[in-house]
């Protein structure tokens, strides 16, 4: 259950897939007067009335699920309403901004500083980057970039957020730095934007790397995001996205973080932890080689759920 944000959706799906039970995706948002209430007040509304005040892609009614996974604070009141009405096991991913005891389990990243007896602390975001998924994505896409030389550098672009901006002039400077790197190493660039990347920002970066071997996803067809993670020798990610940085670190490959205008105390803490773990380094226009254990706590969260549901025994 999510509010439709792509990054959050991906985290919930990753955990659901790792649990291994059939699942459906519910995109929910409060409507009417409910939208005016903050989450701590929404959860005081009786569960049935709460669900009547929801716009959803699918109805929220019986038959109820065995487990409800919510992510993002806007999904919290609806997930808790379903739990109250059905007795379903409830997992929330990230800091729910309400007491953890309202859920059966909370999986919150360490940089959220959210603790409790029923809280599992994850390193970064949970995600669906696995060796099998990367191998499959890379195999199908490899012929399209067969002529691009190594080292191949995947460039994962974020965009505008509450804390950061990514204007065209910043993209021009970033692109120039990437172009110098490609020339000096004899390599190539694999660039993919996100939904938050402004078209003019992508255009500016594309122009800046025009003189070196590259592939820029133009938004048509499926996003080769996982293929790029698979086929790259190193990865550069803009600093605005916890999801993308953690997914990149799920490969075990060198991951560089490109700074953007803006600041977030929470993300500063996240990047410091990723650096201390040895997964990431600031992008300074050069390539280095290092190794670390891939970052992925999704199976840990899924195993806790499976044990709670009696699907596996504790080792």
pLDDT value at residue 314? 57
Beta bridge partners of 120: 107
Distance CA(105)–CA(116), nearest Å, equals: 10
Helices 242-249, 6-19: axis angle to 10 degrees equals 40
Cα end-to-end distance, the chain, whole Å: 30
Neighbouring residues of 260: CB distance < 8 A, sequence distance ≥ 6? 158, 164, 165, 166, 170, 238, 239, 240
The reported pLDDT for the residue numbered 54 is 92
Domains along the chain?
A: 6-128+300-308 (3.40.50), 131-282 (3.40.50.2000)
Is residue 290 within 8 A of residue 235, CB to CB? The reply is no
State which H helix or E strand residue 82 sits in. Answer: helix 76-86
Report residues of the chain scoring pLDDT below 70: 313-315
According to DSSP, the residues that pair with 108 across neighbouring strands are: 121
Pairing assessment for the beta strands 89-93 and 234-238 based on DSSP bridges: unpaired
Total-model pTM: 0.90
φ, ψ for residue 177, nearest 5 deg? -65, -40
Which residues are bridge partners to 302 per DSSP? Answer: none
Three-state SS at 281: strand
Cα separation, 131 vs 314, whole angstroms? 25
Q: What does the angle CA 240 – CA 71 – CA 292 come to, to the nearest 5 degrees?
A: 50
pLDDT at 223: 93
Rg (CA), the chain: 21
Contact (CB, 8 A) for 2 and 94: no
């Amino acid at each position: 259950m999510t509010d439709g944000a792509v990054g959050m959706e991906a985290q919930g799906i990753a955990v659901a897939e790792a649990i291994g039970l059939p699942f459906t995706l519910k995109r929910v948002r409060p409507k009417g007067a409910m939208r005016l209430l903050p989450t701590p007040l929404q959860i005081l509304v009786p569960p049935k009335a709460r669900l009547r005040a929801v716009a959803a892609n699918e109805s929220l009614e019986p038959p109820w699920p065995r487990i409800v996974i919510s992510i993002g604070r806007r999904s919290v009141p609806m997930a808790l309403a379903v739990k109250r009405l059905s007795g379903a096991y409830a997992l929330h991913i990230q800091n729910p901004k309400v007491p953890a005891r309202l859920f059966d389990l909370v999986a919150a990243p360490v940089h959220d500083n959210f603790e409790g007896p029923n809280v599992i602390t994850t390193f970064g975001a949970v995600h669906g980057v696995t060796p099998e998924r990367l191998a499959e994505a890379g195999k199908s896409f490899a012929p399209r970039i067969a002529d691009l030389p190594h080292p191949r550098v995947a460039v994962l672009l974020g965009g505008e957020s509450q804390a950061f901006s990514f204007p065209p002039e910043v993209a021009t400077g970033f692109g120039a730095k990437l172009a110098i790197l490609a020339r000096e190493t004899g390599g190539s660039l694999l660039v993919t934007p996100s939904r938050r990347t402004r078209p003019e920002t992508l255009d500016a970066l594309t122009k800046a790397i025009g003189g070196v071997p590259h592939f820029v996803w133009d938004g048509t067809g499926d996003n080769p995001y996982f293929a790029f993670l698979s086929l790259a020798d190193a990865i550069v990610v803009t600093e605005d996205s916890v999801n993308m940085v953690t997914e990149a670190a799920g490969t075990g490959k060198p991951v560089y973080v490109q700074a953007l205008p803006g600041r977030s105390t929470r993300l500063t803490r996240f990047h410091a932890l990723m650096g201390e773990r040895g997964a990431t380094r600031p992008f300074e226009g050069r390539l280095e080689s290092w190794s670390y254990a891939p970052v992925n706590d999704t199976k840990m969260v899924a195993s806790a759920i499976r044990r709670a549901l009696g699907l596996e025994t504790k080792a």
